[in-house]
């Protein structure tokens, strides 16, 4: 491998994070959410690491589940968006996938399956997110009308819109609405994502869905011992000294105010590093912070290493990870850690490391 642009996946961190988040609610079951290729960390990688720990996995769409099955993952998989086409109901049954139902059309597709070939289903309740799910005042009718396709695997689920805000008024309202619905039925429930697992004890019921916290982003402020699961790194491929007054990169978006040492690093927006990162976005090189200068290019960035001693071609540069929080980089980029994780492109190899 000539180009040293890599995403190092820290196996021990993923295992630690699942354990830490699960231990917050020891009386609940926890599933690992590995949609979007495990938030960019490699769905198969993460599923293999959590074998024997996570009782179930969750993905967004059936295609993601089939990739896991092809890789030999056997645990039940919850498909959070349910079926997009009728044929996916048969695939779900064939591959031991649980479909989350949020429309009557989906329920009709399942009802039209042969009785002994119906996939297990969950029911999604819209308590205020207003994205997917059956309205609170229609769920009783749905349960009655489709009682024949429900089974012992059926769970009532909802999603909290403001779980990462401890001061939110919306979350107690959603929890109250969902509790009222759930009290009418004898189904297990699923409410909490990573932030809710940490902040909202009332949401820790049944199946907790552990997503972004599993990958080491701090989903909320607080003393939770989760660790970065990805270190994105590259290396210096060129060095030059420019005089004060000269500019760097496309559009001459940064101009040196002093004689400056500029390092070119082999990563760009084609690798998933955000093009909209501004001047001053931090990186780590040789144990010191340096700053992005000039626009992010397709395959390269430039950083000011004037104050970093003894920088050489080939030196490793950390874009985020163990020494630089992905949340800090996301704040500079005006986005969230979820986006940074999931946008890392396929040309960046994921390398799983055990300590």
Kindly tell me if the per-residue pLDDT of 221 is higher than 90.
no
Paired sense of beta strands 247-248 and 282-285, if any: unpaired
Q: What is the mean pLDDT of residues 2-9?
A: 93
From the candidates 35, 39, 124, 273, which is the catalytic residue?
A: 35
CATH code, domain with 127: 3.20.20.10
Kindly tell me if the per-residue pLDDT of 119 is higher than 90.
yes
Task: Output the pLDDT for position 244.
Answer: 98
Indicate the pLDDT class of residue 3, thresholds 50, 70 and 90.
confident
Indicate the pLDDT class of residue 1, thresholds 50, 70 and 90.
low
134 and 250 co-located in one domain:
no
pTM of the shown model = 0.94
Q: Tell me the two tokens of residue 33.
A: 């959410």
| Active-site annotation holds for 35 | yes
Domain stop point among 157, 184, 215: 215
Per-residue pLDDT reduced to its tens digit, 127-154: 999 999 999 999 999 999 999 999 989 9
Kindly tell me if the per-residue pLDDT of 347 is higher than 90.
yes
Per-residue pLDDT reduced to its tens digit, 261-270: 999 999 999 9
Task: Output the pLDDT for position 245.
Answer: 98
Per-residue pLDDT reduced to its tens digit, 229-262: 999 999 999 999 999 999 999 999 999 999 999 9
Residue 152, domain member (yes or no): yes
Task: Output the pLDDT for position 313.
Answer: 97
Per-residue pLDDT reduced to its tens digit, 153-195: 999 999 999 999 999 999 999 999 999 999 999 999 999 999 9
236 and 146 co-located in one domain:
no
3-state secondary structure 18-82: HHHHHHHCCCCEEEEECHHHHHCCCHHHHHHHCCCCCCEEEECCHHHHHHHHHCCCCCCEEECCC
For residues 5 and 75, give the distance between their C-alpha atoms in angstroms, rounded to a whole number.
33
What is the pLDDT of the chain when averaged over all its residues?
96
Task: Output the pLDDT for position 355.
Answer: 77
Number of Cβ within a 10 Å radius of residue 212: 21
Per-residue pLDDT reduced to its tens digit, 76-98: 999 999 999 999 999 999 999 99
Domain stop point among 215, 250, 282: 215
298 and 249 co-located in one domain:
yes
Domain stop point among 163, 190, 215: 215
Per-residue pLDDT reduced to its tens digit, 293-319: 999 999 999 999 999 989 999 999 999
Expressed as residue numbers, the domain containing 312 is 230-353
Residue 7, domain member (yes or no): no
How many domains is the chain built from?
2
For residues 96 and 125, give the distance between their C-alpha atoms in angstroms, rounded to a whole number.
23
Task: Output the pLDDT for position 219.
Answer: 72
SS3 257: coil
From the candidates 124, 215, 250, 338, which is the catalytic residue?
A: 250
Query: Which residues, including other chains, have CB under 8 Å from residue 5's CB and lie 6 or more apart?
Result: 233, 234, 235, 266, 267, 271, 348
Per-residue pLDDT reduced to its tens digit, 48-70: 999 999 999 999 999 999 999 99
Q: If we measure between CA atoms, which residue out of 165, 180, 178, 224 comes closest to residue 204? A: 178
CB neighbour class for 10 (10 Å; exposed up to 12, middle 13-18, buried from 19): buried
Element of type H or E holding 110 = helix 104-111
22 and 139 co-located in one domain:
yes
249 and 192 co-located in one domain:
no
196 and 51 co-located in one domain:
yes
DSSP state of 274: -
The residue to which tokens 């084609």 are assigned: 270
199 and 334 co-located in one domain:
no
């Amino acid at each position: 491998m000539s180009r040293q642009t890599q995403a190092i996946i820290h196996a021990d961190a993923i295992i630690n994070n699942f354990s830490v988040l699960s231990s917050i609610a020891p009386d609940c079951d926890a599933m690992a959410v590995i949609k979007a290729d495990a938030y960019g960390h490699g769905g198969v990688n993460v599923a293999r690491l959590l074998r024997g720990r996570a009782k179930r996995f969750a993905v967004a769409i059936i295609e993601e589940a089939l990739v896991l099955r092809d890789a030999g993952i056997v645990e039940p998989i919850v498909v959070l968006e349910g079926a997009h086409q009728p044929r996916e109901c048969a695939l779900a049954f064939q591959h031991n996938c649980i479909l989350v139902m949020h429309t009557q059309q989906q329920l009709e597709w399942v009802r039209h399956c042969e009785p002994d070939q119906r996939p297990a289903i969950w029911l999604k309740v819209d308590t205020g997110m207003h994205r997917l799910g059956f309205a609170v005042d229609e769920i009783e009718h749905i349960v009655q009308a489709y009682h024949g396709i429900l089974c012992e695997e059926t769970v009532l689920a909802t999603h909290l819109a403001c779980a990462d805000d401890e001061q939110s008024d919306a979350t107690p309202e959603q929890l109250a609405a969902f509790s009222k619905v759930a009290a009418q039925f004898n189904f297990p429930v699923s409410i909490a994502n990573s932030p809710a697992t940490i902040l909202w004890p009332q949401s820790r019921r049944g199946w907790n869905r552990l997503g972004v916290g599993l990958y080491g982003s701090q989903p909320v402020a607080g003393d939770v011992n989760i660790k970065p699961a990805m270190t994105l790194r590259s290396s210096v491929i060129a060095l030059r000294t420019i005089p004060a007054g000269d500019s760097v990169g496309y559009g001459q978006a940064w101009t040196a105010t002093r004689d400056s040492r500029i390092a070119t690093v082999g990563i760009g927006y084609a690798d998933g590093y955000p093009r909209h990162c501004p001047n001053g976005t931090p990186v780590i090189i040789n144990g010191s912070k340096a700053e992005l200068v000039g626009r992010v290019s397709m395959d390269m960035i430039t950083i000011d290493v004037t104050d970093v001693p003894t920088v050489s071609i080939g030196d490793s540069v950390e874009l985020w990870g163990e020494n630089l929080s992905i949340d800090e980089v996301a704040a500079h980029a005006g986005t969230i850690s979820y986006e940074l994780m999931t946008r890392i492109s396929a040309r960046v190899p994921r390398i799983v490391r055990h300590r």
